[in-house]
A and B are shown apart, each in its own frame.
Chain A
């Protein structure tokens, strides 16, 4: 969930950064603000859930990850702080320069945070996070080819998801020029993401053979599913159809995440810590599952309500951009 919603959220920031300054970037940014406004906070609560489930269910893994990977995780945290502040304040800045600064901070941190989170995942998959309190190397654990490529992949994935979602939002706002704008970017992002994923596989083969083997055996079905979804999105976008692109794009991302989990199985921290060894007592796991069950029952409908209201334009923050190309 975090990968899809948070990722799309970060990706939107990426496009905001890349939209360019002044008049040229104004319209895309308006759409991004309009789309993100009511939902960005809900998008990021997922991260808290990820941390909580990790430290409740697999506390020793949490300890190892957060101590060895102190540097990238601290940088990701700062990214989140700056991002939240940048987004919340970009409207209230009194001068145009202040606004531009807040928007740039928002955009830059939208790239920084997913990059470092990707580096963290790469470090784990690469077997560079040993059990214990800061037992791994503080720098080489994440400053290596696998981790950095994974980081880039995370950024590209976010940009990809965001562009697909924004095509939909441009339609909702009735702005065909922005539909084309983000449609082109979605195509470019899909290609870049695909290339980075392939590079990642190559690096995995060289650097973390066990995970590579997992991806190409047990996880192969999911990897292929991800590929199929990705290609389907490309085809649909090329044809100008919007129906189903968001689900397929999200599907591509989710399939790869599950594939990764299966590839690493039974290790949570390859090559030494098994999921079963790291797991909390069954009473805790049961309690977490119960809370998760309640959450699904209670939160999903509420989230559905929010997204429905937003999609039906009953709930919005800033006005949508005006109809195509109108000068303001």
Chain B
């Protein structure tokens, strides 16, 4: 019993870690090509050499992050079998078709990224630009497919019977389950705002260190504009999502808002500690939680007491803090966007004060924190279920021994991977700055002398 219990703990920890790591790379994979194409478009349309240079550099960054992201994504595929074989064994035939679709999108992405990145020198400018467009579209398609699987885990439908071996599946119902309309846009917007703020923060740091050339300005403004447009939309989508969860997964909502008893006029708490006797500490706004759920303080909010304690998510305080942190960061980022918008409207320039650049410099890390908080909420909040109200996580885990070994190895290898990735990106950027040449790239366009090839058809 003890071995099994710790197996589950290690499996959960390993899954959480590998997913949390991968989601950052996946976000970059989805949105960075879009930024790259925006810069490319600007460069071609307005004859802007700096923008073209940015596009070229960003394509090199895309190459490396895509490669590492593909690896971490492969690990997740393995984990569907290595960590949760009973889940996949029972429901693989239900949600699997979505992964098949994702596979197609990912394959297309890999192919066109290769063509775009390695074809800088040889394809004509506009042909080259258009070869990048399938990458963006495939990124959206892949995001839809994978998030639809997670949506299905939260709102399972399209299969029968609900207990025992599945004998009948309706793929359309699986693909277009009720959580898709809010989970999918929420993640896609998240990818764009996380990528936008990460890239902007890198150039903001450069500007704070005195590098005020046009490349840095453009490198700040393109991603920042995208992110500042995405963030308020994300806030609205998130609000819709929370309301939908209150209806469709009331226990998850109750856990993240620390609602113990089903009641009306429920107080909204900002932070605070969740206990069985209510929330201790924190800032309470009476009736506001009910208001947020149903636009009236007399809206009934389901409490944790509506289900036996075995069916409630663990770590309610962590869930609650994750939710408040995610919303809080989004709010602050909206303010940052408003600040930029105001300055732009007034004098077509970024705010002059160093505080603006400092805020941008931390916005990347803040956006990542918000992203991870969001995933904590949706995954931990769904516990103890792996398929909401249908299959428990404890029934899904592998009976093989040794998950603690793979977890330890994963921690070590991923740490090395992260370090290598950051070092590689920094080395690349230092080379760009020092020689002004965009050559000698790891896994990227080569601007060195063309190879001495005999008889090539060119």
Residues of A participating in the B interface, judged by any CB pair closer than 8 Å = 34, 37-39, 41-42, 44-45, 47-49, 51-53, 55-57, 59-60, 62-68, 70-71, 73-74, 76-78, 80-82, 84-85, 87-92, 94, 133-134, 138, 172-174, 280-281, 283-284, 287-288, 291-292, 294-295, 298-299, 302-303, 305-306, 309, 312-320, 322-323
Contacts and interface: CB of A to CB of B under 8 A. Distances in A.
Pick the most buried of A284, A288, A309: most chain B CB atoms within 10 A of its CB. Answer: A284
> Which secondary structure dominates where chain B touches chain A?
helix
A174 B454 contact: yes
B413 A82 contact: yes
A172 B90 CA distance: 49
Most buried by A among B97, B424, B454: B97
B168 A281 contact: yes
A175 B448 CA distance: 19
B417 to A, nearest CB: 5
Nearest to B444: A317
22 contacts: A34-B451, A38-B114, A41-B66, A41-B110, A41-B114, A42-B107, A48-B77, A49-B107, A56-B97, A59-B93, A63-B88, A66-B81, A67-B399, A81-B74, A92-B423, A138-B400, A291-B104, A295-B107, A317-B443, A319-B450, A320-B451, A320-B452
Interface in B356-399: 398-399
Given A66-B88, A74-B406, 13 more contacts: A39-B114, A42-B114, A55-B96, A56-B92, A70-B402, A77-B78, A174-B455, A284-B171, A287-B97, A288-B100, A298-B104, A316-B451, A317-B443
B428 A63 contact: no
Contacts of A281: 93, 166-169
Contacts of B235: none
Contacts of A134: 85, 398-400
Contacts of B85: 62-64, 66-67, 133-134
Q: Nearest 3 pairs between A and B by C-beta? A: A56-B96, A63-B89, A66-B81
A202 B436 CA distance: 62
Nearest to A131: B89
A243 B19 CA distance: 46
Contacts of A82: 413
Nearest to B454: A174
Interface of B: 64, 66-68, 70-75, 77-78, 80-82, 85-86, 88-94, 96-97, 99-101, 103-104, 106-108, 110-115, 118-119, 122-123, 134, 166-171, 398-402, 406, 409, 413, 416-417, 420, 423-424, 427-428, 441-444, 446, 448-458
A172 B458 CA distance: 13
Given A38-B114, A88-B67, A309 B119 contact: yes
Contacts of B111: 42, 299, 302-303, 305-306
Contacts of B428: 92
Contacts of A80: 71, 74-75
Contact of B104 (A53, A55, A295, A313): A295
Contacts of A317: 118, 443-444, 446
Contacts of B70: 41, 44-45, 84
Given A283-B171, A284-B169, A319 B446 contact: yes
Contact of B93 (A51, A57, A88): A57
Which of A63, A64, A295, A323 has the most C-beta atoms of chain B within 10 angstroms of its own C-beta?
Answer: A63
A298 B106 CA distance: 12
Contacts of B166: 281
Contacts of B449: 319
Contact of B453 (A52, A172, A306): A172
A312 B458 contact: yes
A288 B442 contact: no
A173 B93 CA distance: 46
Contact of B398 (A45, A67, A78): A67
A258 to B, nearest CB: 22
Contacts of B444: 317
A173 B453 contact: yes
A70 B89 contact: no
Given A283-B171, A288-B97, A323 B452 contact: yes
A84 B71 CA distance: 6
Contact of B106 (A45, A59, A76, A173): A45
B118 to A, nearest CB: 4
Nearest to B172: A287
A67 B400 contact: yes
A315 B399 CA distance: 47
Contacts of A85: 68, 71, 416-417, 420
A299 B71 contact: no
Contacts of A90: 442
A81 B110 contact: no
B108 A133 contact: no
A9 B224 CA distance: 39
A133 B399 contact: yes
